[in-house]
């Protein structure tokens, strides 16, 4: 597995990030250990978690499993969600974030967090309050870099412009849902991230397992996991995309999951977040690091999965007039 830089920072991370949402839930401690060992053996150094994952158990287990390897790995975590019953036990407020960082540091058994992300946009807290709090956390050394997850394009622009005006450390990463069947962030959110030099950590790159090929068109997914209803509502374009992924996998003698992850790896500054409930589930996604999709395969996948742009995204070109350099 190659090492890449996160956005425009000097922070080197593995080209795949291990998501640990299952730790302490679908994956018990021993299984989580086997997953981490498999990822580390393949050269993985980047781990993503959040305080709300399995009620904090994900952070605790991850901290225990990394142990003496802490200096050799990069840890990202997130805050926003409710961690208690009180009115101040959630949000991007100063009160909540200051406490949330300390609790995450304790659970992770570390002195610093490499990437601290706002899990969601918070309409209830003034953004100036949130940004000044993040800056204080960076200056304290508890946090090295800051990022956001699930933000819209205008929210990214608003945040970064305020950070620049105040002389704060800027957001360096965006964590959105991104896959061959969920590309709508390409319309606004990805351009905003790219314009601001932010790396992209793609969550659910296999679309909740849909792109592994385990589901079949016309057959109900009822009883096959918590995303069954979402799969049953998959539009025809999604099934057409899966057919194209399967065709590519067959021609390359690869697994559909490897093709789907490799497609993301071909995108600039995109790091897929891969997860598992068993160590063997990592095999297909790790294989993506050695799979080079040719230009024609990428074009086919791009075309079949392209989101409907519509107005105003198809209104920018002016006939007969070349773009400026």
Residue 321, domain member (yes or no): no
Q: What is the mean pLDDT of the chain?
A: 94
Residue 51, domain member (yes or no): yes
Summarize pLDDT for 159-218 with one digit per residue, the tens: 999 999 999 999 999 999 999 999 999 999 999 999 999 999 999 999 999 999 998 888
CA atoms within 13 A on the CB side of 26: 13
For 164, counting Cβ atoms within 10 Å of its Cβ (0-12 exposed, 13-18 middle, 19+ buried), the class is exposed
- In which domain, by residue range, is 283 found? 3-209+256-294
Residue 108, domain member (yes or no): yes
| Residue 134, φ and ψ in degrees, nearest 5 | -60, -40
pLDDT tens for the chain, 325 residues: list them.
999 999 999 999 999 999 999 999 999 999 999 999 999 999 999 999 999 999 999 999 999 999 999 999 999 999 999 999 999 989 999 999 999 999 999 999 999 999 999 999 999 999 999 999 999 999 999 999 999 999 999 999 999 999 999 999 999 999 999 999 999 999 999 999 999 999 999 999 999 999 999 988 888 877 776 677 878 889 999 999 999 999 999 999 999 999 999 999 999 999 999 999 999 999 999 999 999 999 999 999 999 999 998 888 887 655 555 555 5
Q: What's this model's pTM, rounded to 2 decimal places?
A: 0.94
Domains of the chain: total: 1
Strands (E), the chain: 3-5, 12-14, 17-19, 46-48, 74-79, 113-118, 143-149, 171-175, 199-202, 270-274
Known catalytic residue at 53 = yes
Among 5, 53, 168, 215, which one carries the catalytic annotation?
53
Please state at what angle helix 94-108 crosses helix 57-66, rounded to 10 degrees.
Answer: 40
Residues 6+ apart with CB under 8 A from 120: 80, 81, 92, 149, 150, 151
Cis peptide before 312 (omega within 30 of 0): yes
Contact 180, 211 (CB under 8 A): yes
Which pLDDT score, from 0 to 100, does residue 218 have? 83
**CATH code of 265's domain:** 3.20.20.100
Contact 29, 21 (CB under 8 A): no
34: helix, strand or coil = helix
Quickly count: other Cβ atoms within 10 Å of residue 262's Cβ.
25
Which pLDDT score, from 0 to 100, does residue 323 have? 57
Residue 247, domain member (yes or no): no
Residue 95, domain member (yes or no): yes
Residue 235, domain member (yes or no): no
Residue 232, domain member (yes or no): no
Residue 306, domain member (yes or no): no
């Amino acid at each position: 597995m190659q090492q890449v830089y996160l956005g425009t920072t000097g922070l080197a991370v593995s080209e795949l990030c291990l998501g640990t949402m299952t730790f302490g839930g679908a994956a018990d401690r021993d299984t989580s250990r086997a997953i981490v060992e498999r990822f580390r053996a393949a050269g993985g150094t980047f781990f993503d978690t959040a305080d709300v994952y399995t009620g904090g158990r994900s952070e605790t287990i991850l901290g225990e499993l990394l142990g003496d390897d802490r200096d050799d790995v990069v840890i990202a975590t997130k805050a926003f969600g409710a961690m208690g019953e009180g009115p101040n036990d959630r949000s991007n407020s100063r009160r909540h974030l200051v406490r949330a960082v300390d609790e995450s540091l304790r659970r992770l058994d570390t002195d610093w967090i490499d990437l601290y992300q706002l899990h969601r946009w918070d309409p209830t807290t003034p953004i100036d309050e949130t940004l000044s709090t993040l800056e204080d956390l960076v200056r304290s050394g508890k946090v090295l870099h800051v990022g956001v997850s699930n933000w819209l394009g205008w929210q990214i622009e608003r945040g970064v412009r305020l950070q620049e005006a105040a002389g704060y450390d800027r957001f360096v990463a965006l964590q959105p849902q991104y896959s061959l069947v969920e590309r709508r962030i390409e319309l606004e959110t990805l351009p905003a991230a790219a314009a601001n030099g932010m790396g992209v950590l793609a969550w659910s790159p296999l679309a909740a397992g849909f792109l592994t090929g385990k589901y079949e068109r016309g057959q109900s997914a009822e009883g096959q996991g918590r995303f069954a209803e979402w799969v049953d509502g998959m539009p025809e374009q999604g099934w057409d995309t899966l057919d194209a992924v399967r065709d590519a996998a067959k021609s390359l003698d690869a697994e559909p999951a490897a093709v789907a992850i490799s497609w993301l790896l071909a995108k600039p500054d995109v790091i897929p977040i891969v997860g598992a409930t068993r160590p063997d589930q990592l095999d297909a996604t790790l294989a993506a690091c050695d799979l080079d999709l040719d230009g024609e395969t990428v074009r086919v996948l791009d075309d079949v999965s392209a989101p409907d742009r519509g107005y105003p995204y198809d209104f920018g070109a002016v006939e007969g007039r070349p773009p400026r350099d």
